[in-house]
Structure 1
Amino acid sequence: MMRFYGFGPWLVSGCRAGFGGWLYNTLWWLRPIISFGLFLIAVFVIYKLFFAKSNLLRKKDNAIEILKERFVKGEISEEEYRKMRSILEEKE
């Protein structure tokens, strides 16, 4: 009869029983590195979703608001602004 030692039936004599036991024992040092990497990825995703000024969760600006911004910045003239606005209002 087998005796189990450690934290549960998956550990036998201090090593993992069954297939992959040698892999677990030889690459044990990778586990904290992978865990820390996953933690960093989770922090990055949370930052991008809630704190970064991205368009992911913000309401999309409609075309007329973008056109107004371009006119205020001086990128287009008043004539171009009126022409483009009339075209956009016709399509909406």
Structure 2
Amino acid sequence: MMAWAHGMYGYGPPMGWGLLGWLYPLFLVGLLVLGAYLVARALAPKRQDRALEILKERYAKGEIDKETFERMKRDLA
């Protein structure tokens, strides 16, 4: 680990960076975590959209009447 932190063998930040030499790998890990979070968030279904779809399905099946549908739809907005 020390060899990597001091930039030996051409890997990692150059020697003489001091504290920045230790922050560099943390920065890279932070970027990876942020990227994974953003991808997961983009791929996750929107909760409110799913709730509205369920509400529309219940109305289409006749489980709820028009007034209930409109009231619940307003509540979701």
Same fold (TM over 0.5): no
Structure of greater relative contact order (alpha carbons < 8 Å, 6+ residues apart)? 2
What is the TM-score with the length of structure 2 in the denominator? 0.39
Q: Which has the higher helix share?
A: 2
The higher radius of gyration belongs to 1
What is the TM-score with the length of structure 1 in the denominator? 0.35
Q: Which has the higher strand share?
A: 1
